[in-house]
Structure 1
Amino acid sequence: MSTYAVIVPTLNEAGNVSELVRRLENVLAGLDWEVIFVDDDSTDGTLEELQQLAQAKKHVRYLRRIMRKGLASACVEGMLSSSAQYLAVMDADLQHDETKLSAIFQALASGEANVVVASRYTGDGGTGEWDQRRVGLSKLATRLATYFLRVPCSDPMSGFFAIDRKIMEASVARIKSEGFKILFDILSIPGLPIRIQEVPYTFSTRQLGDSKLRYNVMVDFLWLLAAKAFGRIVYTEFVLFCFVGLSGVLVHLATVSALYKLLGFSFLISQSVATYTAMTTNYFLNNTLTFKERKLKGFPFVTGYVKFLLACSLGAFINIAVADYLVSLGLYWLFAALIGTVLSAIFNFFLAKFTIWRNG
């Protein structure tokens, strides 16, 4: 049984993992420690590198995850696989300053804190060579996250931190597994007896591999904010579905306007084409945002699209029939289209959730 564990999520970090182990061995020499890599089925040789390390070094372990993705869930699985009292999380890309681990673990072991955050925004910490755009986005995300925190923290979006096992056990069931900022999630859980301490560090520049900062990272963050903001009031998936539906309304009305007012098609044809155009964009967005935990890929994505159109046919029929009837009564076409769209949206969420993304 190790006293200290470092959890490192990996995805295509060949070359970095060996160097990280070497650095950890220097920093943590004399301590009872282990490092657990949690790999999301890398394809660049990372797994082979991890296997060699684990066979050669008793303090190196790794988990290979098949058909499962996500930073938060990887961290949780790594923590649960260890019996260590103190658990640190850091990236494999060598951008987190491993020399700070000594101070971080010392703060936990002394009882001064049960959560220790390596912060870019305190003391002499910094963001390194980030450009102004990335710095601005980071500070914006930090400011938004601050509104949901239960304890003050200068860098709740940090991916470099450590916690006492008792805090992990108390929070693990309430962590959003599809998120990417697990620290923010923990610090925003009500009722945890958190005593926080911060250690300044400067973010380093990646030398090998590709950055994992993609559009889906921001999607994950926005999803987590939505869960925090609406989780206790309404079903998060329904909130996201409504936002997607709102975009569908805009697509729908733009299509009706173009076909009916500009191109001279009948209202019935315009409304019909607009309905299925909006359904198509809604399917893509819902698959990416609303039901991202059960996201469809490959052939299931194609069949899911067909099922989505069929499942929403009832709502589409109501949409078209009601709107066309209202126009025949003399109602302005824009209001008729809007009413038909809103009525069909109520049906679409339940049909989509329980027929398309029920199992993923």
Structure 2
Amino acid sequence: MLSIVLPVFNEEDNLEPLLAEIRQAAPGFGRPWEVVMVDDASTDGSLGVIQRLASAQPEVRYLAFAENRGQSAAFCAGFDAAVGEIIVTLDADGQNDPADIPKLLQLFDAGADMAIGWRLKRRDSFMKRIASRIGNGVRNRLTRETVRDTGCSLKIMRAEMARRLPRFKGMHRFLPTLMKMQGARVEEAPVNHRPRLKGVSKYGTWDRAVAGLYDLFGVRWLQKRSFLYSIREKSD
């Protein structure tokens, strides 16, 4: 089963159109699916929209935080609540295209533990594109990665691995690296990226860069200190 996890913060106008697009793409999933919406204490009408969608559509479930905890916390809550063995992550702003999910599922079904989108043509502001390019370059240099676009929220991963990820603020920016620390095979594919049509971005360019740099040193430390092991045998 496929569980699509959507963190939501003040996206009341985007939720219904996005869910309609997910439903339209669903025949290409090749498996049962659900949507888990996690409301991060929205201050607009998002929670009301979510409640209405969940009451009318059996594929939709939701969680609502008591206070704002950020995107990483919302993702983790969705991972814990997901029923499916496969997790898909999307932004709720409509910039990710659900029609790309079947393409990433092909990589997953071919043996990848994680398949991530690569936004070939970004539909963001010039400053946001430049900041993202610099951020990806610095992140890859320090973590010895080759991921083209770790900031793309469209990702597919094994649920049991997602639930074992270390949890901290900003961890969603490092999901491919954190998955590889578990021995995951990670694949990439170009995906569509769309301009935001409704609502406003929740992130400033430079404050996100500062927070990301701080987190980056923590992830580098984790890389150096992490380990894997396998059990040869054990007693009953």
Distance across 2 between alignment mates of 1:27 and 1:189: 26
Equivalent residue letter for 2:188: E
Q: Which blocks of at least 5 consecutive residues in structure 2 are unaligned?
A: 225-236
Distance across 2 between alignment mates of 1:146 and 1:47: 36
Change over 3 Å in CA distance of 1:151–1:194 after alignment to 2 = farther
User: Which residue of structure 2 lines up, in the alignment, with residue 291 of structure 1?
Assistant: none
Give the number of aligned pairs: 221
Q: CA deviation at 1:31?
A: 3.3
User: Which residue of structure 2 lines up, in the alignment, with residue 224 of structure 1?
Assistant: 215
Distance across 1 between alignment mates of 2:68 and 2:176: 21
Q: CA deviation at 1:60?
A: 0.5
Question: Which structure has the highest helix share of the two?
Answer: 1
Q: Which blocks of at least 5 consecutive residues in structure 1 are unaligned?
A: 234-360
User: Which residue of structure 1 lines up, in the alignment, with residue 192 of structure 2?
Assistant: 202
Distance across 2 between alignment mates of 1:52 and 1:185: 31
Q: Which has the larger radius of gyration?
A: 1
Distance across 1 between alignment mates of 2:49 and 2:150: 32
Question: Which structure has the highest strand share of the two?
Answer: 2
User: Which residue of structure 2 lines up, in the alignment, with residue 113 of structure 1?
Assistant: 112
With normalisation by structure 2, the TM-score equals 0.85
CA offset digits 1:105-153 (Å, max 9, x no partner): 2322x24211100102xxxx2113x343222111100001102446532
- Aligned 8 A contact 1:175 1:186 in 2: no
- Which runs of structure 2 are paired with 1:57-136 in the superposition (5 Å)? 57-108=57-108, 110-120=109-119, 125-128=120-123, 130-136=124-130
Residues 1:141 and 2:131 aligned together: no
Q: CA deviation at 1:28?
A: 0.8
User: Which residue of structure 1 lines up, in the alignment, with residue 14 of structure 2?
Assistant: 16
- Aligned 8 A contact 2:131 2:209 in 1: no
Q: CA deviation at 1:52?
A: 0.5
> Alpha carbon RMSD of aligned pairs, Å?
2.1
Change over 3 Å in CA distance of 1:14–1:96 after alignment to 2 = same
- Aligned 8 A contact 1:127 1:135 in 2: yes
Q: CA deviation at 1:95?
A: 0.4
With normalisation by structure 1, the TM-score equals 0.57
SS in structure 2 of the partner of residue 147 of structure 1: helix
Greater shift in the superposed pair: 182-191 or 138-147:
182-191
Distance across 1 between alignment mates of 2:105 and 2:179: 23
Q: What is the percent sequence identity of the aligned residues?
A: 23
- Which runs of structure 2 are paired with 1:192-271 in the superposition (5 Å)? 192-214=182-204, 215-229=206-220
